[in-house]
Amino acid sequence: MAQKKEKLVKKSEERQGIGQKINDLRSFFDLSKKELKKVVWPDKKETMSTTGAVLILVLVISVFLGITDLGLAKIIEAILS
């Protein structure tokens, strides 16, 4: 049963010409354009503040991971020596 459905789908895809695929692509881009018009883009102030927050968070996590790595390396060194 599933094989019959797969064969029917393949045949219908073969029947679908290049013109239909172009229409589908055009429709996709039209819908994408409409959706992009609905997006509320952040202003410069909001973008700068969120960028600053991300940079600070990256710095904090980097320092934490560096200290953790150094501590674990010292612990392993003490165990192995």
Per-residue pLDDT of 30-73, as tens digits, reads 999 999 999 999 999 999 999 999 999 999 999 999 999 999 99
Query: What range defines the domain where residue 74 resides?
Result: 40-81
Are 44 and 12 within one domain? no
Indicate whether 21 and 51 sit together in one domain. no
Separation between Cα atoms, residue 62 and residue 53, nearest integer Å: 14
Same domain for 50 and 18: no
Query: Which of 71 and 13 is assigned the larger pLDDT?
Result: 71
Q: Which residues contact 3 (CB under 8 A, 6 or more apart)?
A: none
Supply angle C-alpha 36, 39, 44, rounded to 5. 120
- Cβ(45)–Cβ(37) below 8 Å: no
Q: Are residues 35 and 51 in the same domain?
A: no
28 and 5 housed in the same domain:
yes
Split into its structural domains, the chain has a count of 2
Asked if residue 17 and residue 44 are part of one domain, the reply reads no
End-to-end CA distance of the chain: 67
Give the pLDDT score at 50. Answer: 97
